Amino acid sequence: MASASSPPSKKQEKQDLGWMEWLKGWYDLIFEACFQKLMSRHLHNPLPLPSLNGKTCIVTGSTSGIGLEIARQLAESGAHVVMAVRNPVAANELIQKWQNRRTDSDPLNIDVMELDLLSLESVARFSESWNSRGKPLNVLINNAGIFSIGEPHKFSRDGYERHMQVAYQFIPFFLFTALEGSRSALFAATDPEILKYSEKLKSEEWPVCAYISYNCRPMNPSKEAHNVNTSHIVWEKTLEMVGLPSNIVETSMQ
């Protein structure tokens, strides 16, 4: 995302990240590069999913890669899937292909809705259109993103940096196929134990959210990621950047 502030000085950078954190970061990276396949060997490919009849799931960026796999597998397990994509033609072609491949008579329950996350106008249009349906949402998979290294800095029409990504680990890009990469998100979205795990977390000293690792096991991220004050700061900054009032949640829930 674009930032109006000037880059931090070397002194500030050093204060932000100590050598222990650097060491830990490199250790994690090397460990995952070497052992991620091994640590995931207990997982089936594709991951077996429970029946998802009656559940509605939105998957952003589902025209390729991990998002495509997630949308297809959720739908094949009985969910009503909404593909939130910036290329609806490609999404409809995919649905057609998946439907044609089916041997049983039940068609997949998939809709396509246009969403370009680099346009706030498109995001607002998507939200209004979704809200007007008045239907519950059971699962939201924020998958859409761009992972690029070495490209020049580019900005959207709204002035935000185009490079945005979500919390998949860095390494699967090289080690896992999209089918393998989809497993942790599918597990987090559908495993019945996740609700109990999240409830347990809320009552303990890690109150912010649950983290599921690439091998479909709960993991402990940094203390900062669980820090409620940091979460509030990030939330407020996000509202400021997208131009929403700080009481938006309270007012929209009335």
Ligand X SMILES: NC(=O)c1ccc[n+]([C@@H]2O[C@H](COP(=O)([O-])OP(=O)(O)OC[C@H]3O[C@@H](n4cnc5c(N)ncnc54)[C@H](OP(=O)(O)O)[C@@H]3O)[C@@H](O)[C@H]2O)c1
Least distance from C-beta 182 to ligand X, angstroms? 8
Output 31 or 170, the one with its CB closest to ligand X: 170
Residue 123 to residue 40: CA distance in whole angstroms: 35
CA dist 112 to 8, 37, 62, 122, 129, Å?
Answer: 42, 34, 10, 14, 12
Query: Do 66 and 176 form a contact (C-beta atoms < 8 A)?
Result: no
Extract the tokens encoding 237: 């900054």
Residue choice 53, 64, 129, 198 for contact with ligand X (CB under 6 A): 64
Does the footprint of ligand X cover residue 172 (CB under 6 A)? yes
Output 56 or 143, the one with its CB closest to ligand X: 143
Output 40 or 60, the one with its CB closest to ligand X: 60
In the chain, which ranges are E strands?
56-60, 80-85, 110-114, 139-141
Which candidate, 97, 121, 99, places its Cα nearest to that of 109? 99
Residue choice 47, 57, 73, 145 for contact with ligand X (CB under 6 A): 145
Output 78 or 125, the one with its CB closest to ligand X: 125
Does the footprint of ligand X cover residue 188 (CB under 6 A)? no
Least distance from C-beta 143 to ligand X, angstroms? 5
Does the footprint of ligand X cover residue 75 (CB under 6 A)? no
Extract the tokens encoding 169: 């680990």
Query: Do 130 and 113 form a contact (C-beta atoms < 8 A)?
Result: yes
CB atoms within 10 A of CB 35: 12
Does the footprint of ligand X cover residue 146 (CB under 6 A)? yes
Residue choice 112, 117, 141, 186 for contact with ligand X (CB under 6 A): 117
Per DSSP, the three-state class of 243 is: coil
Query: Do 46 and 179 form a contact (C-beta atoms < 8 A)?
Result: yes
Extract the tokens encoding 21: 């954190």
Residue choice 47, 67, 81, 108 for contact with ligand X (CB under 6 A): 67
Output 27 or 170, the one with its CB closest to ligand X: 170
Least distance from C-beta 5 to ligand X, angstroms? 24
Extract the tokens encoding 156: 């959207």
Q: Tell me the window of 36-44, 51-59, 84-92, 95-103 that interacts with ligand X (CB under 6 A).
A: 84-92
Does the footprint of ligand X cover residue 165 (CB under 6 A)? yes
Residue choice 37, 86, 217, 226 for contact with ligand X (CB under 6 A): 86
Angle ∠(44,48,49) on CA atoms, nearest 5:
150
Output 64 or 198, the one with its CB closest to ligand X: 64
Interface contacts to ligand X, rule CB under 6 A: 60-61, 63-67, 85-87, 115-118, 143-147, 165-166, 168, 170, 172-173, 178, 181
